[in-house]
């Protein structure tokens, strides 16, 4: 049965909060609308050719969570992305729209894509492309700007030190001070008007290794400074700022064979890290957002690829949320289509999760776009 038939019944209900939020917002300049992809999946190693998920690949999907059950919530289908994409390394939102930058797509690894999703119209738009293509670019939005930092030029390796800022109102990118040290798959978050870039992985490409670096960019001075590094170097983490603290959750040590459940919180007044309750399902490449004062983690991957052969392959569909007030986790309805390296944001009263890898590793991209709400 068609996935849209299964999930689409709730789409009209979900559109309500987003439409209400966006009805009074002005977006300038007008961006070019893009149609959704006619194919949900594509194979990057076959030039972006359409891909059919095999039974063996579908068997990689896991959704059971060890966390206590919370309110299940529900997932509904939204407009698929214009093309199947993955390894964007997250997304960001500003003024009621989601910005998705870079990634794998159409048979290449260093794409300069910049697509924007508007929940009110349930449509995708083409925005000014990133000045140079890359995957695993760290992104964050603040004060009418979208920052894009670092990334990999090749397939999850050969990291970059470029840094750019996008003016949403002008639909224009410009270069800012380059990263002090090149890296990809890092986490970016804003705290008190400054950008914190945390973790990631670095060169040499044949020894791609996770790092604990913590560097802070000040937009007012266009300068970088160092802060206390993560207690354990890792990449593909989840990261949010909440109530003046930065939470870094999950991720991997070098590869998804060594995923972690670690949860650290950064206390800026002390320049110090502390531990919090671990992620129930250890994973990396998961999305992480704040929704209704909880941190929601969805998707991710884990397993082993040895000499091109996957073993113990897992693509996670778990939706787990953390309450910072009680330091506890719970689980919710899992993703209908488990994916990793997704674009995930909260807009209005919904979490939007677009694109991502459909199987372990970077072979298969998806255009699938699903949204979650507790309403």
Are the C-beta atoms of residues 228 and 243 closer than 8 Å to each other? no
pLDDT of 14 reads 60
The Cα 43–Cα 37 span in angstroms is 14
Q: Are 362 and 40 in contact (CB under 8 A)?
A: no
pLDDT tens sequence across 341-371:
999 999 999 999 999 999 999 999 999 999 9
- Given a cut of 60, whether residue 241 has pLDDT beyond it is yes
Q: Using alpha carbons, list the distances in angstroms from residue 238 to 89, 264, 318.
A: 10, 11, 14
Give the three-class secondary structure for 17.
helix
Q: What is the pLDDT of residue 244?
A: 98
C-alpha triplet 250, 281, 245: angle, nearest 5°: 35
- With H, G, I as helix, E, B as strand and everything else as coil, classify residue 48: coil
**What number of CA atoms fall less than 13 Å from residue 245's CA on the CB side?**
18
Say yes or no to pLDDT of 275 above 90. Answer: yes
Q: How far apart are CA 289 and CA 186, in angstroms?
A: 16
- Lowest mean pLDDT across 25-29, 37-41, 185-189, 263-267: 25-29
pLDDT tens digits along 55-88 = 999 999 999 999 999 999 999 999 999 999 999 8
Position 206 scores a pLDDT of: 87
Report pLDDT digits (tens) over 302-329. Answer: 999 888 888 999 999 999 999 999 999 9
Instruction: Tell me how many degrees the CA angle 8-13-19 measures, rounded to the nearest 5.
Output: 115
Tell me the percentage of the chain whose pLDDT exceeds 70: 93
Q: How confident is the model at residue 21 (pLDDT cuts 50, 70, 90)?
A: very low
Delineate the domains of the chain, giving CATH numbers in brackets.
3-373 (2.120.10.80)
**H or E stretch including 166?**
strand 163-167
Q: Can you give 62-121 as a three-state secondary structure string? A: ECCCCCCECCCCEEEECCCCCCCEECCCCCEEECCEEEEECCEECCECCCCCEEEEECCC
Beta carbons of 88 and 102 less than 8 angstroms apart: yes
How many Cβ atoms are within 10 Å of 304's Cβ, its own excluded? 14
199's tokens: 């973790």
Report the alpha-carbon distance of residue 172 to residue 167 in Å, rounded: 5
pLDDT tens, position by position, 279-290:
999 999 999 999
The CA distance from 135 to 117, in Å, is 19
Supply the pLDDT for residue 29: 73
pLDDT tens string 114-142: 999 999 999 999 999 999 999 999 999 99
As a whole number, the mean pLDDT across the chain is 93
How crowded is residue 192: how many other Cβ atoms within 10 Å of its Cβ? 8
């Amino acid at each position: 049965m068609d996935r849209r038939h299964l999930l689409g019944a709730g789409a009209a209900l979900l559109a309500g909060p987003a439409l209400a939020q966006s009805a009074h917002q002005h977006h300038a300049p007008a961006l070019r609308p893009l149609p959704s992809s006619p194919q949900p999946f594509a194979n990057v190693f076959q030039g972006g050719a359409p891909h059919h998920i095999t039974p063996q690949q579908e068997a990689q999907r896991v959704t059971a969570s060890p966390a206590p059950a919370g309110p299940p919530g529900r997932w509904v289908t939204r407009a698929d992305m214009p093309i199947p994409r993955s390894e964007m390394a997250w997304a960001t939102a500003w003024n009621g729209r989601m910005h998705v930058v870079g990634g794998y797509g159409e048979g290449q690894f260093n794409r300069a894509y910049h697509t924007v999703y508007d929940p009110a119209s349930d449509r995708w738009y083409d925005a000014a492309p990133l000045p140079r293509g890359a995957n695993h670019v760290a992104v964050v939005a603040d004060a009418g700007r979208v920052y894009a930092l670092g990334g990999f030029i090749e397939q999850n390796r050969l990291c970059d030190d470029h840094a750019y800022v996008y003016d949403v109102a002008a639909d224009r990118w410009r270069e800012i001070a380059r990263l002090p040290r090149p890296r990809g798959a890092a986490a970016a978050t804003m705290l008190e008007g400054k950008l914190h870039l945390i973790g990631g992985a670095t060169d040499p490409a044949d020894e791609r290794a996770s790092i604990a670096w913590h560097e802070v960019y000040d937009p007012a001075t266009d300068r970088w400074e160092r802060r206390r590094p993560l207690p354990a170097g890792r990449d593909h983490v989840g990261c949010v700022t909440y109530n003046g603290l930065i939470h870094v959750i999950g991720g991997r040590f070098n590869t998804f064979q060594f995923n972690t459940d670690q949860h650290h919180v950064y206390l800026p007044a002390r320049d110090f890290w502390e531990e919090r309750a671990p992620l129930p399902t250890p994973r990396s490449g998961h999305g992480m957002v704040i929704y209704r004062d909880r941190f929601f983690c969805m998707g991710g991957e884990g397993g082993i690829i040895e000499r091109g052969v996957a073993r113990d392959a897992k693509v996670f569909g778990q939706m787990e949320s953390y309450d910072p007030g009680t330091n506890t986790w719970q689980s919710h309805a899992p993703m209908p289509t488990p994916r990793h390296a997704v674009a995930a944001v909260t807009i209005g009263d919904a979490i939007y999760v677009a694109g991502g890898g459909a199987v372990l590793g970077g072979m298969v991209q998806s255009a699938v776009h699903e949204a979650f709400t507790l309403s």
